[in-house]
Structure 1
Amino acid sequence: MMNAQAISRQARLREISSALVIARRSASALPSFPGELPDSFDDAYAIQQLSRESWEDEVAGWKVGGVPPDFIDTFGETHLVGPIFAKSVKYVGPGESVDMPVFARAFGAIEPEFIVQLGETLAHDRLFIGAEIASSPLPAINDIGPIAVISDFGNNNGMIIGPEIVGWREHTVAPTLVACEIDDQQVGACEVRDVVGSVDQAIAFLLSHADRRRIEIPVGTYISTGAITGIHEAEAGASSRISFGDLGDFSLTLIEAPASQ
């Protein structure tokens, strides 16, 4: 039986979760974090779980993101995770374009990433070029810090899965220059030299996190493995081209997220 303090904590976390979910469903910006900011990752993940359970969609994957250096000593974690829902996943072919929603008058960003789909064994894992669309009703979510990011679905609002990198484990992927343009201006570029190592690190972190928190990760789950060129803030109406060198490229346009998405 829970004591009064535990009941009060649970009620507080439910109120935060409810406010964040309502804001997402109504596509409404929030002026600040709803309620008192939790002081632990445990509480933030508890909020995330409550929100995930009330969201009317299936979890198709998870994003793995980095904890900003200024917060690592405080929380003792270098990475964080958030759910990616099936309706927010879009597929794009080589050179094609796709529309992706972000919250108006709030936070939106484009992040080129490698996307892995878990197979029955390591040999069956599939890898794609892609991107995470980060967006939250909280305009200052990243300034507030990782507690806010974790609480609000990891600051995720979509994932783009592009062309597959065939044989990525069997054949060494050459150093790959990843570049992101927004409205015809390059906003970030980075050469990735160890694709397998960086992807496997993200997989290991997610599986460890899921084991600690008793989250099922079935075969076929997608993992967005971390921003390669940075977090590139952008608003609805912006167009972007993302290039993974010889591995392919694709484009996207940010659109305003509708209510009840």
Structure 2
Amino acid sequence: MTRLVAAERAAELLLRSRLDGAPLAELPQDLAPASLAEAYAVQDATLRQIGPAGGWKVAAKPDGEPRCAVLPASAFHASGVTLKVPPAGFEAEVETAFVFATGLPARTRPYQRDEVAAAIGSMHLAVELISSRFIDRKSIPPLSPIADLQGNAAVILGPAIAGWRDIDLAALALTMRLGDARIEWPLKNLGLPQTLEVLTWLANHALTRGGGLARGDVVITGARLGPAPLGDADSLSAECPQMGKVTANFSR
């Protein structure tokens, strides 16, 4: 079996789990990715079946290059949305999102940070909802959850933030409410310069994945608060004095 065929079959299993709500114990050995490139190939195969793409998630790693996932346009929602909770439930993360006003298409030389910064049109407070297609994503080889779009189920975007380039992202005062539960704890967050470095890495990585970043792409940049399990909560809100508020409601 070629790796391309294996990627397509792995994507089919993950999509079936996404649709019927029955999580997988793990991918079959002959379909499980054996390298980061193979995990990304499964992501690409998934998008070929549920696309088009609408953006990305990316997060820095302290011990190596960032990890990312391309996300379908159907994953993105405006604040105030009502979403159905899958059988596996949701975990929620508060993040910052960037929307590209200018595309960064394929070219032979890498993009520089100032080019990436200039291409960004807006920054938003966002909540990512995680729902793994695996029974226990922490107990299986780490490349399989990457293949599973890093567990992404949805992204909820708040309004564009005025003056975002002057906000100290390393010192955000974030809170999240899941129903009546208030969640607030400090994380060591990346400042804007470090976040732009991660976005620059993504812009150049995307050149190898089908042509670069597109105008209108939304990129979320890793948890700044969370993840926290939704549990039985039927509502969610995330707030930040500098960045506004994001809300969502849930049905079962």
Distance 1:54 1:224 in 2: 22
State the identity as a percent.
Answer: 21
Distance 2:149 2:157 in 1: 19
Deviation larger for 233-242 or 218-227: 233-242
Deviation per CA, 1:40-70: give whole Å up to 9, x if none: 1111111111111111x32111111355x7x
Where does the alignment leave 5 or more consecutive residues of structure 2 unmatched?
Answer: 103-114
Output the aligned Cα RMSD.
Answer: 2.6
- Correspondence for 1:62: 56
Distance 1:245 1:145 in 2: 39
Count of matched residue positions in the alignment of Structure 1 and Structure 2? 235
User: Quick check: 1:61–1:222 contact (8 Å CA) kept in 2?
Assistant: yes
Distance 1:215 1:141 in 2: 30
The one of 28, 38, 41 aligned to 1:43: 38
Asked whether 1:53 is paired with 2:35, we answer no
- Correspondence for 1:98: 81
The one of 64, 69, 74 aligned to 1:87: 74
The one of 20, 23, 38 aligned to 1:30: 23
Q: CA deviation at 1:173?
A: 4.2
Cα gap change, 1:243/1:191 in structure 2, threshold over 3 Å: closer, same or farther? farther
TM-score when normalising by structure 2? 0.81
- Correspondence for 1:108: 90
Q: CA deviation at 1:236?
A: 6.2
Where does the alignment leave 5 or more consecutive residues of structure 1 unmatched?
Answer: 1-6, 257-261
Distance 1:210 1:194 in 2: 21
User: Quick check: 1:133–1:159 contact (8 Å CA) kept in 2?
Assistant: yes
Q: CA deviation at 1:160?
A: 0.9
Distance 2:225 2:45 in 1: 32
- Correspondence for 2:107: none
Distance 2:60 2:190 in 1: 18
- Aligned ranges 1:1-261 → 2 under 5 Å: 7-26=1-20, 28-36=21-29, 37-55=32-50, 57-66=51-60, 77-92=64-79, 97-104=80-87, 106=88, 108-120=90-102, 122-123=117-118, 125=120, 126-144=122-140, 146-169=142-165, 171-173=166-168, 175-190=171-186, 195-235=191-231, 237-256=233-252
